[in-house]
């Protein structure tokens, strides 16, 4: 049943992880006449990892009217300018690169010059085409400066966060409850379905029936409503993303807090390092086809200098892929229940935010009907697939090739047609950015991001174009660029100083 405003009278959300509570906040802050009830199970608990975000987390907090200073201190949160990819390439000078989020300064000067020098490099000219020289957020990160500019600096820059996922869950729970969301602690033991295939109610372990007009499946990898009950198909990404496991452990935080996530390639996967105010969160994401859990734990301890430490490790399994329909009948899947692309680009929260906000728009547009269900599902699928392609490209383009894992990733031919075409353009196009737009290859990542990755790993196939280069002009341009970025940087403060309560 619908309210007079065309929204469901009652929504039940199954699952109280980050996805469930984000959804509860978004719904409660916009659909004020809808009764919202969230069930979470103490026995099952939450996954309790996922501590880095893209700028979408800021969009989420903006949408529910919460400022950085209102939530960050409660979640030991820090700012994030981007990600350093370390040791993914053995090519001299390209052992590490930084992938920044977007800044308005990019389009003015830095991105065009970056692309110009990539073309020159591909012709064999000895020019600087390493992404680290080109972007303001890279400069901020290298100098431990936070992403909040002085009032007088007229250009916007996007930023993400690092946070304690358990504390974020607690903050979001309290905020949603203040907006009127009812929390029930119980385990769903059964799901009842109407004859027409719509969901009718969830049955709790004490036999209580919770009926609703619309349901959100936020039950994590369980996917209790969408996959188990409604039998929506699941597409595994295992063929092109090999990693299926992770081992996680904390380490002591440094006195100067980095403004970036670090993703270091190890023998059979990669390790994240995420700075929180009170600890580093670390994890090794690997493929169990190549290394077992004990070996992975030892390698992570060694990498962190914790071989002799008794700090506890947590081992996790990951299911990588997505459902074919995120909205089906009267149910929306959000979070791990709808799918997961491994955490290399920390995109899960962004996908949850996009799923709920796009669903609300499509549902309203369809006046409470399923008219826009298929357009919505197509949209969310293309977001998942666009991110998957970008993440797959990290593995495909790796320049380590020192273990079977890295060699098999580089050889892997199970890549999407879109990714093949992007890689073809990288090698063959003389105007990569424009051609990506021309051939409709723009997905979840801008040409700048693709170029950062491929140039960052030192992938410069030699091409034949007629460009000639004036080295004096090149050096002058690079000096001007460096000066521009340095002077922009004068408008930013030390990261640590932004976090003092």
Ligand X SMILES: Cc1cc2nc3c(=O)[nH]c(=O)nc-3n(C[C@H](O)[C@H](O)[C@H](O)COP(=O)(O)OP(=O)(O)OC[C@H]3O[C@@H](n4cnc5c(N)ncnc54)[C@H](O)[C@@H]3O)c2cc1C
Among the listed residues 191, 349, 423, 455, the single contact to ligand X using CB under 6 A:
349
Q: What separation, in Å, do the N-terminal and C-terminal C-alpha atoms of the chain show?
A: 46
For the CB of residue 478, give the shortest distance to ligand X in the complex, in Å. Answer: 34
Q: Residue holding tokens 């977001």?
A: 383
Spatial separation of the C-alpha atoms in residues 473 and 465, rounded to whole Å? 19
19 binds ligand X (CB under 6 A): yes
Of 36 and 433, nearer to ligand X (C-beta) is 36
Q: Is 46 in the site for ligand X (CB under 6 A)?
A: yes
Q: Residue for token digits 């090698």?
A: 427
Which of 183, 474 has the CB closer to ligand X? 183
Calculate the alpha carbon distances from 209 to 2, 12, 181 in Å: 20, 11, 18
Q: Does 25 bind ligand X (CB under 6 A)?
A: no
Site for ligand X, residues 186 to 245, rule: CB under 6 A: 187-188, 218-220, 222, 224
- Could you say whether residue 173 binds ligand X (CB under 6 A)? no
Site string for ligand X, 280-309 (x = CB under 6 A): ---x-x------------------------
Point out which span in 36-44, 116-124, 355-363, 367-375 binds ligand X (CB under 6 A).
Answer: 36-44
Name 300's Cβ contacts closer than 8 Å, sequence gap at least 6: 247, 249, 266, 271, 282, 283, 284, 306, 313
- Phi/psi at 295 (5° precision): -65, -40
Q: Which is nearer to ligand X, 272 or 372 (CB)?
A: 272
The verdict on 75 binding ligand X (CB under 6 A) reads no
160 part of the interface to ligand X, by CB under 6 A: no
Tokens, residue 361: 């728009």
- Give yes or no for residue 246 binding ligand X (CB under 6 A): yes
* Identity of the residue, 262 or 474, whose beta carbon is nearer to ligand X in the bound complex: 262
Among residues 7, 11, 13, 50, the one that binds ligand X under rule CB under 6 A? 50
Residues that bind ligand X (rule: CB under 6 A) add up to a total of: 39
CB of 24 to ligand X, least distance (A): 11
Residue position matching structure tokens 């920044």: 100
CB of 386 to ligand X, least distance (A): 16
Cβ contact 380:354 at 8 Å: yes
- Is the Cβ of residue 341 or residue 451 nearer to ligand X in the bound state? 341
Provide the minimum distance between the beta carbon of 424 and ligand X in the complex, in angstroms, as a whole number. 31
The region of 42-50, 110-118, 173-181, 320-328 touching ligand X under the rule CB under 6 A is 42-50
- Asked whether position 82 contacts ligand X by CB under 6 A, the answer is no
Q: How far is CA 362 from the centre of its chain?
A: 23
> Phi and psi at residue 495, in whole multiples of 5°?
-55, -50
The verdict on 24 binding ligand X (CB under 6 A) reads no
Q: Which residues contact 288 (CB under 8 A, 6 or more apart)?
A: 244, 245
- Return the residue of 11, 51, 240, 313 that touches ligand X, per CB under 6 A: 51
- CB-count exposure of residue 457 (10 Å: 0-12, 13-18, 19+): buried
Residue 275 within binding range of ligand X, rule CB under 6 A: no
Q: Which helix (H) or strand (E) holds 375?
A: helix 373-396
Residues with Cβ within 8 Å of 390's Cβ and at least 6 positions away in sequence, in order, are 345, 443, 444, 445, 449, 450, 453
Please identify, among the stretches 18-26, 140-148, 173-181, 231-239, the one whose residues bind ligand X according to the rule CB under 6 A: 18-26
**Beta-carbon contacts of residue 453 (< 8 Å; ≥ 6 apart):** 85, 97, 99, 390, 393, 394, 397
Which span sits near ligand X by CB under 6 A: 11-19, 252-260, 393-401, 440-448? 11-19
Q: Which two tokens stand for residue 366?
A: 């369809």
- Contact residues toward ligand X (CB under 6 A) are 14-20, 39-41, 44-47, 49-53, 165, 187-188, 218-220, 222, 224, 246, 283, 285, 316, 318, 335-337, 343, 346, 348-349
């Amino acid at each position: 049943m619908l309210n007079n405003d065309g929204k469901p009278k009652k929504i039940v959300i199954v699952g109280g992880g980050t996805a469930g509570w984000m959804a509860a906040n978004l719904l409660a802050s916009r659909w004020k006449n809808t009764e919202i009830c969230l069930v979470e199970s103490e026995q099952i608990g939450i996954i309790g990892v996922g501590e880095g975000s893209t700028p979408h987390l800021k969009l989420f907090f903006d949408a529910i009217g919460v400022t950085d200073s209102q939530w960050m201190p409660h979640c030991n949160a820090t700012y994030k300018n981007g990600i350093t990819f370390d040791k993914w390439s053995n090519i001299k000078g390209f052992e590490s690169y930084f992938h920044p989020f977007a800044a308005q300064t990019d389009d003015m000067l830095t991105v065009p010059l970056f692309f110009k020098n990539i073309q020159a490099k591909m012709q064999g000219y000895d020019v600087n085409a390493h992404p680290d020289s080109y972007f303001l957020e890279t400069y901020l990160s290298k100098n431990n400066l936070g992403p909040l500019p002085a009032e007088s600096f007229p250009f916007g820059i996007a930023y993400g966060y690092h946070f304690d996922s358990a504390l974020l869950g607690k903050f979001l729970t309290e905020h949603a409850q203040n907006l009127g969301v009812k929390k029930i602690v119980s385990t769903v033991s059964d799901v009842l379905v109407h004859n027409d295939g719509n969901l009718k109610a969830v049955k709790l372990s004490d036999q209580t029936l919770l009926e609703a007009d619309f349901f959100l499946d936020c039950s994590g990898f369980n996917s209790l409503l969408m996959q188990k009950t409604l039998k929506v198909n699941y597409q595994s990404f295992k063929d092109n993303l090999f990693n299926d496991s992770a081992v996680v452990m904390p380490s002591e935080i440094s006195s100067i807090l980095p403004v970036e996530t670090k993703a270091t390639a190890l023998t059979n996967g990669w390790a994240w390092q995420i700075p929180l105010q009170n600890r580093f969160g670390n994890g090794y994401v690997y493929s169990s086809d190549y290394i077992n859990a004990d070996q992975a734990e030892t390698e992570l301890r060694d990498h962190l200098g914790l071989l002799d430490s008794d700090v506890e490790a947590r081992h996790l399994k990951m299911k990588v892929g997505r459902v074919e329909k995120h909205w089906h009948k009267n149910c929306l899947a959000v979070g791990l229940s709808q799918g997961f692309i491994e955490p290399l680009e920390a995109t899960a929260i962004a996908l949850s935010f996009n799923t709920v906000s796009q669903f609300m728009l499509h549902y309203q547009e369809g006046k409470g009907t399923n008219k826009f269900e298929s357009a919505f599902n197509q949209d969310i699928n293309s977001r998942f697939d666009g991110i998957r392609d970008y993440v797959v490209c990290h593995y495909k383009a790796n320049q380590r090739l020192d273990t079977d894992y890295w060699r098999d990733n580089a050889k892997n031919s199970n890549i999407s047609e879109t990714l093949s075409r992007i890689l073809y353009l990288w090698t063959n196009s003389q105007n990569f950015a424009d051609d990506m737009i021309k051939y409709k290859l723009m997905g979840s990542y801008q040409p700048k991001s693709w170029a950062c990755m491929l140039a960052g790993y030192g992938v410069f196939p030699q091409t034949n174009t007629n460009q000639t280069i004036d080295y004096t002009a090149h050096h002058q341009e690079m000096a001007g660029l460096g000066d521009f970025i340095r002077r922009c940087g004068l408008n930013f403060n030390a990261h640590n100083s932004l976090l003092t309560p």
